[in-house]
Amino acid sequence: MKIVQLVKQNNKDWTYIGENQELKEPLVVVFGNRLLLEDTSVYDEIRTIFPDGHIVFGSACAEISSRTVNENSITITAMEFERSQFVIKTSNVLNRDLDSYKTGNDLIKQFPEEGLKYVFVVSEGSFINGSQLTQGMSTINSGNLLITGGLCGDDTRFEKTLASYNENPKEGEIVAIGFYGDSLEITFSIHGGWTPFGPERIVTKSKGNTLYELDGLPALDLYKTYLGDKAKDLPGAALLYPLNVKSEDEEQSIVRSILNINEEENAVILAGDIKQNSKVQLMMTNVDNIANASERAATQALEFRKNKPELAMLVSCIGRKLVLDQRVEEEIDEVIEILGEGTAVSGFYSYGEIAPFHGEMACQLHNQTMTITLISE
């Protein structure tokens, strides 16, 4: 596998991260600040650099590269596979009745099943129900298909997200990249580093990904009480206090972030479903816990590999970025140190991470995690 990375910061010239080399029909993954991706010349500009490339865009809260975390920028990772193939499928959910489950199911069914080893998903992140999307994608899982990826981001603006394949980035787009090849070795891991605190409460009213009541009281009021003066910064301020959710029919608890609020109904809108009668607790963390969790994810992803990974795809959560703040690079540095030289690193900060629980195969939507997928040919 040959890999080339470039970054463009503050509308300056493109800078290569590492060496430049010729690539033939590469997969070109482009993550960037949404405001920069709205430039109508961005696709043509990247097409000039990679004339025969398959170009996938996704807006991000920040981009991850082999060197650092990039903000207010666009980062490109281009890959030429020597013995493997990839197929790219898309779906757009703008201006249609949104059934996230059916969208995920229809999208995964577009892929030829024979030889399909792995799917990486770059999904619109502003109004999709991520847990329904992932459930729909998991329905045809024969037990050996790994699906990871993430929901696109828009920093703390929460206005809209963009994605596309071989065209200028646009709203409502979901892009899935299917990888084929007997020589592919793919492993993954996922860790959070958040700790529940305070009383455990019962979800007494919810619908889909909207949480109305906890213990019979308005959910939004609960958050406002805990946040105090910071309540004026909702929904962004709530990213520092996600929910630990234990549902009656799930063995493992899952973390849910708040992506929006509904003042009229005193409700909060989460990145994925929250079922009635689930038990929830607020969560908190610190810089050290987040960095340690990323280190554990990298170590675990390496654990049973036969070959050294050539590429690491990292998807981390905007909530983690807000906690880390000026030290955001620390969790990436931990991963790079564990992986060692010779492994290219790419990825982005998201509104939600897509991966199975460790040791399982059915993908789920997660929040506040570091998800690492290691790829080699």
**Which of 69-73, 179-183, 347-351, 357-361 is predicted least confidently?**
357-361
Give pLDDT tens digits for 201-243: 999 999 988 999 999 999 999 889 888 888 888 887 888 889 9
Position 265 scores a pLDDT of 94
User: What pLDDT score was predicted for residue 95?
Assistant: 74
**pLDDT, mean of residues 85-92:** 97
Chain-centre distance for alpha carbon 22: 29
| pLDDT, position 141 | 60
Helix axis angle for 130-138 and 100-109, nearest 10°, is 40
Alpha-carbon distances, residue 155 vs 71, 100, 125, 137, 324 (angstroms) = 10, 23, 11, 26, 14
Is the pLDDT score of 81 beyond 90? Answer: yes
The model's pLDDT over 155-189, given as tens digits with 9 standing for 90+, comes to 988 899 999 999 999 999 999 999 999 999 999 99
Cα 88–chain centre separation? 18
Q: How confident is the model at residue 333 (pLDDT cuts 50, 70, 90)?
A: very high
* pLDDT > 90: percent of the chain: 75
Q: Supply the DSSP string of 24-62, one letter for each residue.
A: SS-EEEEEE-HHHHT-TTHHHHHHHHSTT-EEEEEE-SE
The answer, yes or no, to whether residue 143 has pLDDT greater than 70, is no
**If you count them, how many residues does the chain have?**
377
Categorize the per-residue pLDDT at 192 as very low, low, confident or very high, splitting at 50, 70 and 90.
Answer: very high
The predicted pLDDT at position 91 comes to 96
Give the model's confidence band at 10: pLDDT under 50 very low, under 70 low, under 90 confident, else very high.
confident
pLDDT band at 24 (very low <50, low <70, confident <90, very high): very high
Distance of CA 110 to the CA centre of its chain: 22
pLDDT at 68: 87
pLDDT over 90 at 88, yes or no: yes
Domains of the chain: 2-191+288-376 (no CATH), 195-283 (2.40.10)
User: Phi and psi for 48 in degrees, rounded to 5?
Assistant: -65, -35
pLDDT of residue 26: 98
Tokens of 150: 């993430």
Question: What is the average pLDDT value for the chain, to the nearest integer?
Answer: 92
pLDDT at 4: 97
Res 259: pLDDT? 81
Burial of 90 (0-12, 13-18, 19+ CB in 10 A): middle
pLDDT digits (tens, 9 = 90+) for 238-296: 888 899 999 887 778 899 988 888 999 999 998 888 999 999 999 999 999 999 999 99
pLDDT exceeds cutoff 80 at 359: no
Span 63-71, average pLDDT: 91
User: What is residue 304's predicted lDDT score, i.e. its pLDDT?
Assistant: 87
Helices (H), the chain: 34-37, 42-49, 100-109, 130-138, 219-227, 287-302, 318-324, 329-339
